Amino acid sequence: MKKMWCLFLVFGLVVAQEDYNERGWDPRVDYNQMFRNSEANGLPWDDRNLELTQEDLALLPPGEFDDLQKIPIFFRVFLRKTQPDLRREGEGQYPRSAPEIYELFWGGRFEDGLFEAEKMLSVIVNSEVEMTPGRSSAESAISINPVNPNLVIAGVNGPTGQEMYYSSNGGSTWTRSTSNLGSSCCDPTVGWSPDGTVAYMMQLGTCSSLCNIEFFRSSDSGQTWGNKVTINTPARNGQNDKEVLHVDLAPSSPFLGRIYGHWHRNNRISFAYSSNQGTSWSTPIELSTNTGIGGDIATDKAGKIYHVWPQTGGGSIQMNRSTNGGDSFGSITMVADTNASFDYPIPCFDNRLAFIYTSVAVDLSNGPFANRVYVCWNDTNGPESGTPANNHSKITVVYSADGGDSWTEVNPHSLADINTVDRFNPWLDVDTDGSVHVVFYSTQNDPNRLKPDMYHTLSEDGGVTWSAPVRITATSSNYINGSFQWGDYNGMSVVDGQIRPIWTDNRSSVRVYTADMETLSGTQDFSLELNATESLLCGANAMQPLDLTIQPIDGFNGSVTFSFSPALPSGLSGSFSPNPATPGQTVTVSVSNNGSATNGIVPLTILGQSSLLSHDIGFNLDVQNVAIGDFWAAWTLANPFQMSLDTNGNGLIDILDLVGYQVCVAP
């Protein structure tokens, strides 16, 4: 039978991603056309649309889609059935609250057996890891093996020059390589071959007053390094600096496996590549007409190179592109203007200054934002000032869906607190599923803007919106009044949901830290259980403790942190032990009274948080501060009703309340 659904006309139809007609209930309806119409009008697709019949669709008027509120077709039919007097053309046919009703009472989008909320990624910070205990270290880079995420390499600026570290358990523990790297300096950059068999790194090496750009390989996952190749030696008065390498990992790229190197020599941008795993390199290209420090390189699925850097002295982010594997580049274009130029002072970064450093990545997934290009840097929120307190630092992300021809600018965090919080030293990476991750320092836990923490945020819609930033560090770093302070950059690598940031941490002394983080997809979650719904607290003592347990859902094994929300009333103090906790641990909940708490039943709520996941559970606390004489006065005198003496909450002051009181005073 011919399928029909001639409800309205659309332009620029989107091709359906699957055959919805095979799943639809009514053979007379063209559900594939319904999907294309939904996409073309910006309506959310919901699989409950597949239950609609031709008679259902006949309820929708010709002017139905003059109103483009974000509600799916099945819900529009439902509203037409229950509210037949709704307008039939123009805007405002549906209540302004219709999208909220759809989300709250219908669960939002339902597709492929899951509600949208169940598909969202959340981020779990399992633990912090001090990578360089006992060794003064900073400015670091990290890379997860693209084939085996258990293998991770990292480079740091150590006390003896560049130092290399490796991990075989996903970054939970680390070992320092003892390979001789020569008289190396700093600015490590690392990567892997596409098949994960060879690890790469670059360094500033053979240094005296000037340094070479040197490349090393490792065939044992970073345990030893050798096969040194000198890519560039310094000319007179031409210091090499700020090198970075990038490996083309896109299987569809004609340049798969090609290694690209970027650095500057006296602020002049330089570039070279290797097509044989770093054994030899092309003659370096130098952009003598443009200056910049702190650049980065990324490639898309076709192998197109995006070579990006902040212009020194010019207040802008610059880019050139290559479509032939780096043999030649097109003209230099501008990505965005910046408020500050090169670097700027903020209270916690008043000596070395916050450096404008770009981080670039491309979505290599097969998702809806494939080949989208992302660039990230920090900048002042307004004109740059020479006074640290007058500068307010923010993170900027731009993305391009047309190969870098045009850009959209966003901030991956709120700007509501921009006058009291500084955010700086970001790094960006795109996971294999297309999710975009950014880490950065933030001083939001210090009103003096001196002590930063590391935070993480992600975007699942191509950089348009971002999750609430999650704190990575358990302890804020201390302000250091020195020449280095926080260094010029941090790093991060993300592969298959495994997130490994790396940063300079000054909580005790200058060290390098990383963290074991992961994204959770699907329905992984947790719930909370208490062994009782109430507890008694007698006088200036502690209550009878309660046991709280974490119940995992679909393999959840994250760490949950507990607090009372809202805060405990005056006179009460509470604790959780252990805190945080993981599934399998029993948490002891305690509340104490200093003697001034209000008598009676007090409802309390425990909040458990694990990154973006949060759940609460409540119990009643029976606070008893009364004395035996209070009951006698209540029974013999014409006093007004005293709620604090109604210990069982039945609205009467009687012998049962006295019995309840005796529980507190009985020996």
**Residue 310 pLDDT greater than 90, yes or no:** yes
pLDDT tens-place string over residues 351-384: 889 999 999 999 999 999 999 999 999 999 999 9
Does 79 or 67 have the greater pLDDT score?
79
Of 4-8, 203-207, 333-337, 628-632, the least confident: 4-8
What are φ and ψ of residue 649, in 5° steps?
70, 25
Strand partners for 548: 530, 587
pLDDT tens-place string over residues 166-212: 999 999 999 999 999 998 888 999 999 999 999 999 999 888 767 89
Q: What is the pLDDT of residue 97?
A: 54
Of 415-419, 479-483, 636-640, the least confident: 636-640
Rounded CA separation 328/330 (Å): 7
Rounded CA separation 167/152 (Å): 5
Q: Specify the pairing of strand 534-538 against strand 613-624.
A: parallel
**Residue 445 pLDDT greater than 80, yes or no:** yes
What is the phi-psi region of residue 397: left when phi exceeds 0, alpha when psi lies from -120 to 50, beta otherwise? beta
Q: Is the peptide bond before 501 cis (omega within 30 degrees of 0)?
A: no
Cα distance between the two ends of the chain: 84
> Which 3 state secondary structure label does DSSP give 502?
strand
pLDDT tens-place string over residues 268-304: 899 999 999 999 999 999 886 778 888 999 999 999 9
Joined together, the tokens standing for residue 311 give 């212009």
**Residue 667 pLDDT greater than 50, yes or no:** no
Tokens 């280095």 identify what position? 484
Top-ranked range on mean pLDDT: pick from 4-8, 70-74, 506-510 = 70-74
Of 315-329, 342-356, 651-665, the least confident: 651-665
Specify the pTM. Answer: 0.69
Joined together, the tokens standing for residue 488 give 């010029």
Tokens 């750009």 identify what position? 213
Rounded CA separation 354/351 (Å): 9
Q: Indicate the length of the chain as a whole number.
A: 667
pLDDT tens-place string over residues 517-540: 988 766 678 899 999 998 888 777
Q: Which residue, 422, 438, 439, is CA-closest to 430?
A: 438
269 within 8 A of 282, measured Cβ to Cβ: no
Rounded CA separation 529/608 (Å): 11
Rounded CA separation 438/123 (Å): 12
Up-side HSE of residue 260: CA atoms within 13 Å toward CB? 28
Q: Say which residues have a Cβ less than 8 Å from residue 523's Cβ, sequence separation at least 6.
A: 114, 118, 553, 554
**Residue 422 pLDDT greater than 60, yes or no:** yes
Rounded CA separation 293/291 (Å): 7
Q: Say which residues have a Cβ less than 8 Å from residue 366's Cβ, sequence separation at least 6.
A: none
Mean pLDDT of 429-450: 96
pLDDT tens-place string over residues 580-611: 899 999 999 999 999 888 878 899 999 998 86
Q: What is the pLDDT of residue 8?
A: 35
**Residue 5 pLDDT greater than 50, yes or no:** no
**Residue 626 pLDDT greater than 90, yes or no:** no
163 within 8 A of 178, measured Cβ to Cβ: no
pLDDT tens-place string over residues 222-235: 999 999 999 998 86
What are φ and ψ of residue 567, in 5° steps?
-60, 155
What are φ and ψ of residue 196, in 5° steps?
75, 10
Q: What is the pLDDT of residue 479?
A: 94
Instruction: State the pLDDT confidence band at 642, using cuts at 50, 70 and 90.
Output: low
Tokens 């910006």 identify what position? 42
Rounded CA separation 127/497 (Å): 15
Sheet holding 259-265, edge to edge: 240-247, 259-265, 268-274, 285-291
Question: Helices (H) and strands (E) in the chain — how many of each?
Answer: 7, 40
Q: Which residue, 608, 607, 598, 600, is CA-closest to 657?
A: 600
Of 89-93, 114-118, 261-265, 326-330, the least confident: 114-118
Q: What is the pLDDT of residue 529?
A: 94
Rounded CA separation 181/202 (Å): 10
Q: Mean pLDDT over all residues of the chain?
A: 87
| CB neighbourhood size of 438 (10 A) | 27
Q: What is the pLDDT of residue 237?
A: 57
**Residue 52 pLDDT greater than 90, yes or no:** yes
Q: Which residue, 199, 303, 192, 325, is CA-closest to 250?
A: 303
Mean pLDDT of 417-422: 97
Mean pLDDT of 487-510: 93
pLDDT tens-place string over residues 109-164: 888 777 765 565 656 566 799 999 888 888 899 999 999 999 999 999 888 889 99
Rounded CA separation 445/171 (Å): 27
**Residue 637 pLDDT greater than 80, yes or no:** no
Judged on CB neighbours under 10 Å (0-12, 13-18, 19+), 169 is exposed
